[in-house]
A and B are shown apart, each in its own frame.
Chain A
Amino acid sequence: GDSVTQMEGPVTLSEEAFLTINCTYTATGYPSLFWYVQYPGEGLQLLLKATKADDKGSNKGFEATYRKETTSFHLEKGSVQVSDSAVYFCALVAYGGATNKLIFGTGTLLAVQP
């Protein structure tokens, strides 16, 4: 079945460091790919998405590129801030079904220190 695998955390960085969180997926067809962020005590917020191969999603300085050849959607940010501390989830929606059911990875906790 469809699945998402993302790097385990926690990831601890100093402010202004470069961030990469790896995400790979297994799916039939061409899924849509997402990164969601969950701040402490809150629900999930969509951070960015890409719906086809080679698309780059971007938002708030975060970027991820849909790589079909490596089945990856790695999250990057050039300079993290303390306010970026949160749990980040990679997710997909399977292609072709009449649904927007999300399949999530296990999440990666990011802690940014001043």
Chain B
Amino acid sequence: DAGVTQSPTHLIKTRGQQVTLRCSPISGHKSVSWYQQVLGQGPQFIFQYYEKEERGRGNFPDRFSARQFPNYSSELNVNALLLGDSALYLCASSFLGLSGNEKLFFGSGTQLSVL
């Protein structure tokens, strides 16, 4: 079975541009979460979605938005890119996403570089 897949793997943008990152969860998983990992830091929670509804939002500006589709795949959008948005963006999926007893599966991430 395929794991969590993310596209693209690498992306280079310039300041002020907009970017869309994509994630396909493991088959049967209904919850998708997004994390930002700046070089040298631990991942920071951005969003969690379940059944197309936003379940949680981290401390990120409104330039960050996401959505989940009926097939449970998800997109993360970042508008008006800043240099500080350069990071590895990780997507994770789980079956329900309801508690810490449930395992989270991570994709390999999209490396975004903002110039």
Taking the complex as formed, is A57 at the interface, i.e. its CB lies under 8 A from any CB of chain B? no
Would you list which residues of chain A between 3 and 52 have a CB under 8 Å from chain B?
Answer: 4, 31-32, 34, 41-46, 49, 51
Chain B min CB distance to A52 (Å):
10
Most chain B CB inside 10 Å of its own CB: which residue of A4, A89, A101: A101
Which residues of chain A are within 8 angstroms of B103 by Cβ–Cβ distance?
Answer: 46
Partner of B100, one of A95, A104, A105, A106: A95
Which residues of chain A are within 8 angstroms of B44 by Cβ–Cβ distance?
Answer: 104
Q: Are B56 and A101 in contact (CB under 8 A)?
A: yes
Q: Across the interface, name the chain A residue whose C-beta is closest to B43.
A: A104
User: Interface size for chain B: under 10, 10 to 19, 20 to 34, or 35 or more residues?
Assistant: 20 to 34
Would you list which residues of chain A between 45 and 96 have a CB under 8 Å from chain B?
Answer: 45-46, 49, 51, 89, 91-95
Q: Is the interface of B mostly helix, strand, loop or mixed?
A: loop
Q: Are B100 and A51 in contact (CB under 8 A)?
A: yes
Q: Are B43 and A32 in contact (CB under 8 A)?
A: no
Taking the complex as formed, is B25 at the interface, i.e. its CB lies under 8 A from any CB of chain A? no
Taking the complex as formed, is B62 at the interface, i.e. its CB lies under 8 A from any CB of chain A? no
Cα A104 to Cα B37 in complex, Å, equals: 10
Taking the complex as formed, is B24 at the interface, i.e. its CB lies under 8 A from any CB of chain A? no
Q: Are B43 and A102 in contact (CB under 8 A)?
A: yes
Q: Are B43 and A93 in contact (CB under 8 A)?
A: no
Q: Are A100 and B102 in contact (CB under 8 A)?
A: yes
Q: Are B98 and A99 in contact (CB under 8 A)?
A: yes
Can you give 16 A-B contacts (C-beta < 8 A)?
Answer: A4-B42, A32-B101, A34-B100, A42-B108, A43-B4, A44-B43, A46-B103, A51-B100, A99-B56, A100-B97, A101-B48, A102-B43, A102-B45, A103-B45, A104-B42, A107-B40
